Amino acid sequence: MRIVLLGAPGAGKGTQCKRIAAKYGLMHLSSGDILRQERAAGSNLGKKAQSYMDAGELVPDKIIVEMMAGAIKKAADNGFVLDGFPRTVNQAVELDKALTLAGQKINAVLNLEVNDQLIVRRMAGRRSCPKCGAVYHLENLKPKVEGICDNDGDKLVQRPDDNAKVVANRLKTYHQQTEPVVAYYKNNNTVYDINANRTADEVTAAIFENLDAMVSV
């Protein structure tokens, strides 16, 4: 199964993708996570991406398409769930081209819909573990011990691009450049609109209901 998860930054894509990947045995491919790993490793790719990420802007398509095509090639045959990619119509077109060449296609697109005010609140409270990437929230998804990762005991941090000014820019970028991707997929694929103004567990239940129905067809 090959799935794309769309939604604004802070819509809960990462949390939901991890759950989808675990339930259906898929590889979770997050463009943001791959970029953060490249930055941490000090690679050329990471250095090129840095200024765009810090400003809440999109890294150029050419860099991202190449990076994600490489990650997709390495994914196992049973498939993947894409998180944060594609983020422009051009990226979506390039992804379709690469999949067609490999005799594959996207089976389902999930579109997480959240209102902007809620996103700003969610991102202000988001904390993550720099070591394992687990994501928490100060109010909705608390770790067992405040400020500490449940998995490895590392100290939780706020992503530098989750500060208010950058969040505003990321939302603007989303509306201008990524919302048209939803329309692109609605013309070409099955898109499941999911109301994501709810708890993470409620959103997961709605996603699983749609995917289970699809798998059983």
The set of catalytic residues is 13, 87, 126, 159, 170
How far is it, in rounded angstroms, from Cα 167 to Cα 178? 15
Q: x/- binding map, residues 60-79, to ligand AMP, per CB under 6 A?
A: ----x---------------
Q: x/- binding map, residues 5-24, to ligand AMP, per CB under 6 A?
A: ----x---------------
Identified binder of ligand AMP from the candidate list 20, 29, 35, 206, rule CB under 6 A: 35
Token pair belonging to 140: 């909705």
- With respect to ligand AMP, which residue has the nearer C-beta, 56 or 79? 56
Of residues 87-106, those binding ligand AMP (CB under 6 A): 87, 91
How far is it, in rounded angstroms, from Cα 145 to Cα 112? 29
Per CB under 6 A, which region of 86-94, 97-105, 136-144, 197-205 contacts ligand AMP? 86-94
Nearest approach, Cβ of residue 159 and ligand AMP (Å): 8
Nearest approach, Cβ of residue 215 and ligand AMP (Å): 26
DSSP-derived secondary structure letter, 156: P
Nearest approach, Cβ of residue 62 and ligand AMP (Å): 10
- With respect to ligand AMP, which residue has the nearer C-beta, 74 or 144? 74
Edge-to-edge strands, sheet with 80-83: 27-30, 80-83, 2-7, 108-113, 191-195
Other Cβ atoms closer than 10 A to 97: 12
Of residues 135-164, those binding ligand AMP (CB under 6 A): 161
Q: Does 31 bind ligand AMP (CB under 6 A)?
A: yes
209 Cβ contact partners less than 8 Å away, ≥ 6 residues apart: none
- With respect to ligand AMP, which residue has the nearer C-beta, 12 or 86? 86
Host H or E run for residue 204: helix 200-215
Question: Which residue lies nearest ligand AMP, judged by its C-beta?
Answer: 32
Residues found in the chain: 217
**What's the CA angle centered on 155, arms 150 and 157, to 5 degrees?**
110
Token pair belonging to 53: 């990420």
Other Cβ atoms closer than 10 A to 32: 20
Type of residue at 53:
M
Q: Which residues bind ligand AMP (CB under 6 A)?
A: 9, 31-32, 35, 52-53, 56-59, 64, 84-87, 91, 161, 170
